[in-house]
Amino acid sequence: MVVVQYYKIIELGERAKFLTTTAKEPHPYEYIHNELGYNFRMPNINAALACAQLEQLNFFRK
């Protein structure tokens, strides 16, 4: 899970999204892969747990 907030690291988030969508360039009928990409998907239950823990991040840091 990648969470980006500051404008300086938004490019990092966009790069991570590109790689996790198998590094495929958008095209109507061809599948052009410029780099080696990945097809990792997080199950919904894991995403829900991560979101719940992120809400309590300040509490965990104390």
pLDDT digits (tens, 9 = 90+) for 14-28: 777 777 767 777 777
Q: Give the mean pLDDT of the chain.
A: 76
Domain that holds residue 22: 7-61
Q: Residue for token digits 């309590």?
A: 56
Give the model's confidence band at 60: pLDDT under 50 very low, under 70 low, under 90 confident, else very high.
Answer: confident
Query: What is the value of pTM for the model shown?
Result: 0.43
Q: How far apart are CA 49 and CA 53, in angstroms?
A: 6
Strands annotated E in 1-62 = 24-25, 32-33
45 vs 14: which has the higher pLDDT: 45
**Maximum average pLDDT range among 16-20, 22-26, 44-48, 56-60:** 44-48
The number of folded domains in the chain is 1
Does residue 26 sit within a domain?
A: yes
Does residue 18 sit within a domain?
A: yes
